[in-house]
């Protein structure tokens, strides 16, 4: 399946917070054989969130949204999802009654409990705001521990597909392997090949749905490197 990840929060855009949620979800999805086609970061602005969610839900099989589910003024994700899908925001009685056990702040409880009509709840075991699924969109809290708790439950709903991955480390600089890298990329177009330069070495990652093709691509790359150094 093809996924888009939308991270909501001004703190992500101004550099105060590193977007570890998106990288965590992307890695888990890819390990399960799915594709992450977009990672999008948007501010705490209802029309902008709604626009990106609406677009992504039409372009991709499933959309994952994190952040903005709390009770403060900048927690506007539920309103934006409601606007994007043209669904009413309603107080979910299960969430309302659950939160009522821990707080008597009516405003906060009602805000956190108000989710788009027809949503499927995904309970949050480590925080207040639950996640939920509506149409082809899953919406989760932005606090990393809460995101992980709810995301792992949502991830179980998607089947595991074939995914194979191998890495090759080459000492030196990327420019020294360009010819060999381009040759293997051209020859194995069904294998995803990425080159990631580090300090003093390069990691080349090979991945795909066919394990044999991934293995052959790695072997071919090693062969090309060996011949070039003779």
Q: What is the pLDDT of residues 75-101, one digit of tens each?
A: 999 999 999 999 999 999 999 999 999
The torsion of the CA quartet 20, 25, 31, 35, rounded to 10 degrees, works out to -120
- Burial (CB count within 10 angstroms: exposed 0-12, middle 13-18, buried 19+), residue 28: middle
For residue 4 the two structure tokens come to 């888009």
Residue 202 and residue 200: Cα distance in Å, rounded? Answer: 7
Sign, CA torsion 70/73/75/78: positive
Q: CATH: 3.40.980.10, 3.30.2320.50, 3.30.470.20, 3.40.1010.10. Which one for 2-155?
A: 3.40.980.10
Length of the chain equals 230
Dump pLDDT digits (tens) for 149-183: 999 999 999 999 888 999 999 999 999 999 999 99
Domain residue ranges of the chain, discontinuous segments joined by +: 2-155, 164-228
pTM of the model: 0.87
């Amino acid at each position: 399946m093809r996924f888009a990840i939308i991270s909501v929060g001004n703190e992500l855009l101004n550099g105060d917070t590193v977007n570890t949620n998106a990288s965590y979800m992307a890695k888990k999805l890819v390990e399960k054989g799915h594709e992450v086609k977009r990672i999008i970061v948007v501010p705490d602005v209802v029309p902008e969130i709604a626009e990106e969610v609406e677009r992504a839900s039409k372009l991709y099989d499933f959309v994952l949204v994190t952040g903005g589910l709390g009770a403060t003024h900048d927690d506007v994700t539920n309103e934006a999802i409601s606007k994007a899908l043209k669904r009413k925001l309603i107080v979910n009685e299960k969430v309302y009654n659950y939160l009522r056990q821990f707080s008597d702040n009516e405003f906060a409880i009602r805000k956190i409990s108000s989710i788009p009509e027809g949503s499927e709840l995904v309970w949050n075991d480590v925080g207040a705001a639950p996640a939920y699924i509506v149409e082809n969109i899953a919406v989760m809290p932005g606090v990393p521990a809460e995101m992980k708790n709810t995301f792992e439950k949502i991830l179980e709903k998607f089947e595991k597909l074939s995914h194979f991955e191998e890495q090759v480390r080459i000492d030196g600089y990327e420019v020294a392997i360009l010819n060999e890298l381009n040759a293997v990329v051209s020859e194995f177009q069904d294998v995803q090949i990425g080159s990631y330069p580090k300090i003093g070495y390069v990691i080349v990652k090979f991945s795909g749905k066919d394990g044999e093709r991934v293995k052959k691509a790695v072997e071919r790359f090693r062969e090309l490197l060996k011949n070039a150094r003779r």
